[in-house]
Amino acid sequence: MSKLKREDLMSLEEYDQARPGFREQVMAHKKNRLVRLDEHAALYFEDRLTMQYQIQEMLRIEKIFDAAGIQEELDTYNPLIPDGSNWKATFMIEYPDVEERKEMLARLKGIEDKVWVRVGDLEKVYPISNEDLERTTEEKTSSVHFMRFELTDEMVEAAKQGADISMGIDHAEFNVTLSPIPAVTAASLRNDLH
């Protein structure tokens, strides 16, 4: 999947005009890329379209129109676009109640290393997490983690051939398996692979 370049982006004026329709398109697309592992944990799989939307929104909100500012946004978000042999996701731990969230984030330290994906009956793949910066402290984990799941050639081929895709978490305080993920989501994730 190719990275975004400045020429791929709309100007602030163009985006203002296109935003309602573009936003609707992206929201529909994102629905097929969400894997809700349970009510408190979800993987939001990123791709070129989701990152274009993110960049366009940041440019709009921050009113960035200079070349250096645009390049900075591209440099920030391009790493979240899959490279053809991996899936990239934003992992969210979601507890609406503030006190419960605080307690659970303390109990879930290290969870970012225990999330997994599996293609067919091949080995589980655990993520490379938070390559941009460390998000876990001695006291707690973060409610947001950025993950890259690197697949072997065999896994890529099996996924493209239609093998089931499963996901889960193997943490002592949080253990869940979703097998298989919904077909519409699996189909969308297969598009990320060479």
Mean pLDDT of 65-77: 94
The Cβ of residue 56 has, within 10 Å, a number of other Cβ atoms equal to: 23
Q: Which tens digit of pLDDT belongs to each residue from 6-23?
A: 999 999 999 999 999 999
Torsion (CA) 108, 151, 122, 30 in degrees, nearest 10: 60
Q: Where are the domains positioned within the chain?
A: 1-31+48-81, 91-194
pLDDT over 80 (residue 182) = yes
Please tell me the pTM assigned to this model: 0.91
Confidence of residue 47 (pLDDT cuts 50, 70, 90): very high
pLDDT value of residue 136: 67
Sign of CA dihedral 167, 186, 89, 92: negative
| Contact of 114 with 169, CB cutoff 8 Å | yes
Q: Name which of 132, 12, 17, 16 is nearest 75 in CA terms.
A: 132
List Cα–Cα distances, 178 to 106, 173, 191, in angstroms. Answer: 24, 17, 20
